[in-house]
Structure 1
């Protein structure tokens, strides 16, 4: 099945997944979403196969507004404003693709980051086709270097920007990211060069 997102939207749509047994892809996805937060717009973090998010005590007006818009348009959506980001949890079932596509169309102006369980990257990449602007792979190169090389080659062949996170974020950075309050460039977080590469900003 192919899904479509508003072609007039300006924010990036990035898929994040682990390669092999690498850990920390969810925290990396949350950190990437935080990096795209602005005063007047909130990114959407979609956690495929994740638990329903709970709203944090403190959330930006933009994140709360996006949560309200998602719940108004998608009454069954498990969405919550967390810090500067709006989180949405969906199951890994194929029929959730349409829900995510609708949510992405609503939130695309602020950017969308979709965290996928290992093994679902190809399916979602095909489903979203040209809507995907970049893919972030969390991988341990010592054990999966050849597999990562194949994946990156395939992504480049599709015209999709690809980046590899070789080390898991620190525990503190992951926690702050999951609460939607990790500043871009914070210690233990994503390298700024990698964030710029995934967002399409000049290096």
Structure 2
């Protein structure tokens, strides 16, 4: 769990600058740049359980979402696109089924399968594994940005979990739980989505 006193101090400093949290005018401008509502809507449309039955369309939709995301590195976008388009039928089916399990079925199975298929292309990055779930379930799942995750753990001296570059289900579960517990300690205006909340933490621990 994050140190409550440290967290409340960050909250107080942030709310002094942005009294309405992410509803504050300046923060609304920042959020608009990320087009969160549009990305959530697009992701919900593209990756419903029914939509995931079409392997080729879903694979292309994965490319679209990754390409349009402001949270994924510009270096990773073309690599992911080329990797997916070079896949054979079996590989695409494996990847799409991994995503379907992550969103609608056995989440751990899907997560680990997604890591495995991306590893075959040396693309097992936290951003690529977590971006679509973070859009599909914006208040439930978490987007793991390596620098942000490491900064949060370092600032709050969290010793019970260890960040590693290769995505793991154990760390994902621990990090998601940490963010959920931290959200419950602060003003609701700091967490319109989990991505926004980790954004607040990222801005605050660096300030």
Q: Provide TM-score, normalisation by structure 1.
A: 0.31
Q: Which has the larger radius of gyration?
A: 2
Structure with greater strand share of residues:
1
Q: Provide TM-score, normalisation by structure 2.
A: 0.30
Structure with greater helix share of residues:
2
